[in-house]
Structure 1
Amino acid sequence: MLRSAASLAAGELRVVRVRHCSGDALASAAKSSPQLSILSIQSSPSVTDRSMLTVASCCPILTELDISYCYEVSYKSLEVIGQSCPNLVVLKRSIFNWLDSSEHVRTVPAEYLRACPQDGDREAIAISRSMPKLKQLVLKFAKLSGVGLNSIAEGCKELEVLDLFGCANLTSRGIEQAAANLKNLETLVKPNFYIPRSAFHMERYGHWQLYDERFQTNVFQI
């Protein structure tokens, strides 16, 4: 479906919001969508660094990117996206709640949870070095430490919204120090170390085997 939408748009596709997208479909769509400015591919385990490199090279005017729950995408993609898309102002890179794995039982495959990125600081440093114009950064449950957060505070001075919900490796002092360096910050979501299950509204992932594009929930805009 993503390929078809990109083909019909004839190079004018500007917004893509999909889930469970394949890497090949994403790369194919990116090659024919130079005007793409908003890309959301949440929960797309088939998307890898290779397909994200294609996005970076073919979609230079990207302003918003959501790669939450895409565990085959690493810090390398973040570096290249930042370098190739200088107008990026919104980045969403959340992962599943690893503090309470019981809430994922029977809804998310164990192998998917085990693939959860462990190099939170490396990703944070990649963001800080390549995305200086970011205004909104969402890192729910990311595994960055104070080192990564300080790097973000130093490299992303224009941040207005910073969401650190569930980032349990951070300290209150570290967060306060980082926030003090972000003069434009308007909204800061802190980790909230007491996290009741009722705070989460996990989507149903009973169809994990159905990663075919026919089962995507899609939004395309020209």
Structure 2
Amino acid sequence: MASGHGYSYAGIFSLLSKCQSIQHLELDYILFLNDNHVMELSSHLVGLLSLRLSRCFMVTYSALFSLVMNCPSLSDIKMEDIGGKSVMNYDSLMEFGVYPQLKSLYLRYNSWLSDESITMIVSHFPNLHLLDLKSCKNISQQGIIQVLKRCHKISHLNLSLCNLSSGVKLSEMNFEVPKLKMLNLSFSEVDDATLYVISKNCPRLLQLLLNGCLGCTEKGVKYVLENCTQLREIDLGNCLNVHINVAASVLFSSPSLRKITVPPHFRFSESERKLLLRRGCIVCPSFRL
């Protein structure tokens, strides 16, 4: 069966079975591709290092486990906006074992992901460093807490556009996440209480993105800058409830900062900008919504 791209699964299989030294592969927008196809192809991709498998709407997360089982060097997987839930149940997936080779997992725009499914998925990848859950709107703060408990090596976490307003709050997190360096909470329902807990439990944070977080004020920003003493970038774009004067004094008191994105109503004077620039810190305007 030919696809709209002008090629078929038979053509893909023929190519990959003859080119088994491929290390990086993109299979985006292949509408006929399904889990069985991925399982069959993965047996010919033993040297694969990275794979993009996004917007393949007949593929489910079962394909993820076929890939890590058959591709022992696969460390980077993008499965964004895929088909949805697997016909397999969680109990059967728990038998798949542990796969330490996977370091980066991008699961953006998968609205079918739940707290239960993401907790189950990450429990198989103990060396996960990067997890991207942008716009996974059915994952709550409780699910994120379970992810952080299991992923002790995680350094980059993207939760932008996630619906984090229900259930257990991140503010109830009572354990440290020592390796977390980048946290993106843009356009999510976080508040000052959440920022306080993040500042206490993520002491090595280097980059915090809060664009569009209307629940955050200068009080929460102050918590972060006082406790995350290595922070190099903070994005306060469209944080309309961050008071100008208080925030300015707090930002100037943080010598580690190298990049500040300010809210639309926020104005540094020319002398203040030059002073920050001499310290190696640039000030960026935010784009109005």
TM-score (normalizing by structure 2): 0.54
Find the aligned partners of 1:169 and 1:23 in 2 and give their Cα distance.
Answer: 32
Report the Cα distance in structure 2 between the residues aligned to 1:155 and 1:41, rounded to whole angstroms: 25
Residue among 204, 209, 228 paired with 1:182: 228
- For the residue of structure 2 that corresponds to 1:129, the secondary structure is coil
Match of 1:43? Answer: 109
Contact 1:31 1:54 in 2 (8 A): no
Residues 19 and 11 (structure 1), Cα distance of their counterparts in 2 relative to 1, 3 Å cut: same
Aligned pair 1:60/2:126, yes or no? yes
- In structure 1, the partner of 2:77 is 16
Q: Which has the higher helix share?
A: 1
**1:144 maps to 2:190:** yes
Secondary structure of the corresponding residue to residue 65 of structure 1? strand
Range with bigger deviation, 45-54 or 8-17: 8-17
Q: Which structure has the higher relative contact order (CA within 8 Å, separation 6+)?
A: 1
Q: Distance in 2 between matches of 1:2 and 1:123?
A: 36
Contact 1:125 1:152 in 2 (8 A): no
Amino acid at match of 2:212: G
**CA offset digits 1:55-106 (Å, max 9, x no partner):** 222111111101111111122322222122110011100117xxxxxxxxxx
| Rounded Cα–Cα distance in structure 1 between residues aligned with 2:167 and 2:221 | 15
Q: Which position in structure 2 is the counterpart of 1:122? A: 169
Give the distance between the partners of 1:77 and 1:120, measured in 2 at CA.
Answer: 9
**Superposition deviation, residue 145 in structure 1:** 1.3
Deviation at 1:17, TM superposition (A): 1.4
Contact 2:185/2:210, CA 8 A, preserved across alignment: yes
From 165, 173, 179, the counterpart of 2:211: 165
Does the CA contact (< 8 Å) of 2:159 and 2:184 recur in 1? yes
Larger Rg: 2
* Residues paired across the two proteins, number: 180
Q: Structure 1 8/149 Cα, relative in aligned 2: closer, same or farther at 3 Å? A: closer
Give 1:122's aligned amino acid: K
**Structure 2 portions without partners, runs of 5+:** 1-32, 43-63, 241-262, 266-285
Question: Helix, strand or coil: the match of 1:54?
Answer: helix
Shift of 1:124: 5.0
Is 2:148 the partner of 1:82? yes
Distance 1:167 1:8, change over 3 A: closer
Give me the identity figure in percent.
22
> What's the CA shift string for 1:183-216, capped at 9, x where partnerless?
11000111433669x9489xxxxxxxxxxxxxxx
SS for the counterpart of 2:187 is: coil
Aligned-pair Cα RMSD in Å = 3.3
1:213 corresponding residue in structure 2:
none
Residue ranges of structure 1 left out of the alignment (5+ in a row): 97-115, 202-222
- Once the two structures are superposed, the pairs formed by residues 71-110 of structure 1 within 5 Å of their partners are 71-95=137-161
How far 1:50 moved relative to its partner? 2.2
TM-score (norm 1): 0.68
